[in-house]
Amino acid sequence: MSGFGCVILAAGKGTRFYSDIPKVLHDLHGKPILQHVLDTASACGFARPVVIIGGRAGEIERFLEGKARPVVQERQLGTADAVKSAKKELSRFDDIAVLYGDVPLVKKETLRSLIKCHKATASSCTVLTVDMDDPSGYGRIIRGISGGVRAIVEDREAAAEEKRVREINVGLYCFDRKDLFEAISRVRRSRVKKEFYLTDVIAILLEDGRKVSAFKADDPDESIGMNSRADLAKAYSILNRRKIKELNGGSVTVLDAATTFISPDAKIGKDTVIYPFTVIEKDVVIGRRCAIGPFCRLRPGTTIDDDAEIGNFVEVVRSKIGSKSKAKHLTYLGDTIVGKGTNVGCGTITANYDGKKKSRIVIGDKVFVGSGTILVAPVKVGNGAVTGAGSVVLKNKNIPAKAVVVGVPARILDKSKKTKGKK
């Protein structure tokens, strides 16, 4: 996108979060709030945007390494001041997209349309707006008699009549760079908060006879700002609904959207059914025709191959479950590879952590893991092997293919001796 730069504002104190962690680093469905904004920017061609950071910058700076160009805003004097602090870094661009680091749900299509509208109308400023049922807390878009934008008035400074306006400022704009910095230098401190508001730039541009356009998005869910933990919870459920809608609109059945949580990054194959009360976290990959849940949790690093079944009260993390394998009840599988056609019995536990480090467990093809088996890592169970109910397989006591083990600690069952004794 030649001539178009991007700046993301993330230096705010996040006072309404009452947190020791910078607001934009709080997790939102598997990744920090700011990462959602970076992903949208990157999808629109802004690979290494400028990000304005402030207090407690160290943590954000580490997070941004290799992803963006951080610029420190020395004192958090408001959004206009934040943009001003990147004047030098943005000087080579003709136009600039300004994104707020605490507005993470805007879709890439919306940002693209905003940029397109800005170019097509050759405006000095194009602002993204949306109608909100409850606009409280947001800047209101004040329009003139002709319908054009006249100003943006912040909630805390708005008159009663202005507060009734439902069209709000999302916090996403395109600007002609020269006009923007010229106008920013004339922004005065706000009456109530004593900050320099970027939103005041709009009225200044209009005073100078510049063109300001508004681009209205249809979906208010995209536009919510993360100003409190309640907003974060709301965004989580919006992302979740978005993902489930996408799956149900395609080839995957998710039976109960109200009790199922699926990361936006999870990949799920055709004809798989997700039963209620299931949590599927970041980067989980599930194949075709699987049955998942009810009441199961698939954590990051999990791959479930085609036709596998994961049932109630099963947790899987950093593991791969082969096709046609089953773990249907009360099981924990961590750092484990399960082969094809294996049955993991009720109550199986992989003891993958010895208090210091995590180790791997490998269970082969067509294994029958008996109910209540504990497998202490690192250990391997050969193809076609059987573990008896309640057996405890100790670490490094690998089970050969087709062997049957029983007991605590588990030992290979010598069938010939047993038969003799009975006679």
* Active site (catalytic) residues: 329
Phi, psi at 365, each rounded to 5°: -80, 150
Q: Shortest approach of ligand UD1 to residue 149 CB, angstroms?
A: 13
Nearer to ligand UD1, 239 or 363 (CB): 239
Nearer to Mg ion, 213 or 227 (CB): 227
138 makes contact, choosing from Mg ion, ligand UD1, none, with CB < 5 to 8 Å by partner type, with: ligand UD1
Q: Are 14 and 76 a contacting pair, CB within 8 Å? A: no
Q: Which of residues 57-116 bind Mg ion (CB under 5 A)?
A: 102
Nearer to Mg ion, 16 or 112 (CB): 16
Q: Shortest approach of Mg ion to residue 227 CB, angstroms?
A: 5
Nearer to Mg ion, 15 or 251 (CB): 15
Q: Rounded to whole angstroms, how far apart are CA atoms 36 and 160?
A: 34
Beta carbons within 8 Å of 16's beta carbon, 6+ residues apart: 227, 228
Nearer to ligand UD1, 62 or 415 (CB): 62
Q: Which of residues 197-236 bind Mg ion (CB under 5 A)?
A: 225, 227
The residue number with the shortest CB distance to Mg ion is: 225
Q: Shortest approach of ligand UD1 to residue 88 CB, angstroms?
A: 17
Cα 114 to the center of its chain, rounded Å: 23
Q: Shortest approach of ligand UD1 to residue 112 CB, angstroms?
A: 20
Residues that bind ligand UD1 (CB under 6 A): 9-12, 52, 54, 73, 76-79, 81-82, 100-103, 138-139, 152, 154, 168-171, 197-199, 225, 227
Distances in Å between the Cα of 190 and the Cα atoms of 58, 75, 88 are: 29, 16, 25
Nearer to Mg ion, 78 or 364 (CB): 78
Q: Shortest approach of Mg ion to residue 144 CB, angstroms?
A: 26
The residue number with the shortest CB distance to ligand UD1 is: 139
SS3 labels along the chain: CCCEEEEEECCCCCHHHCCCCCHHHCEECCEEHHHHHHHHHHHCCCCCCEEEECCCHHHHHHHHCCCCEEEECCCCCCHHHHHHCCCCCCCCCCEEEEEECCCCCCCHHHHHHHHHHHHHHCCCEEEEEEECCCCCCCCEEEECCCCCEEEEECHHHCCHHHHCCCEEEEEEEEEEHHHHHHHHCCCCECCCCCCECCCHHHHHHHHCCCCEEEEECCCHHHHCCCCCHHHHHHHHHHHHHHHHHHHHCCCCEECCCCCCEECCCCEECCCCEECCCCEECCCCEECCCCEECCCEEECCCCEECCCCEEEEEEEEECCEECCCCEEEEEEEEECEEECCCCEECCCCEEECECCCCECCEEECCCCEECCCCEEECCEEECCCCEECCCCEECCCCCECCCCEEECCCCEECCHHHHHHHHC
Q: How many residues bind Mg ion (CB under 5 A)?
A: 3
Q: Shortest approach of ligand UD1 to residue 83 CB, angstroms?
A: 8
Q: Shortest approach of ligand UD1 to residue 185 CB, angstroms?
A: 16
77 makes contact, choosing from ligand UD1, Mg ion, none, with CB < 5 to 8 Å by partner type, with: ligand UD1
384 makes contact, choosing from Mg ion, ligand UD1, none, with CB < 5 to 8 Å by partner type, with: none
Nearer to Mg ion, 38 or 344 (CB): 38
168 makes contact, choosing from ligand UD1, Mg ion, none, with CB < 5 to 8 Å by partner type, with: ligand UD1
Q: Applying CB under 5 A, which residues contact Mg ion? A: 102, 225, 227
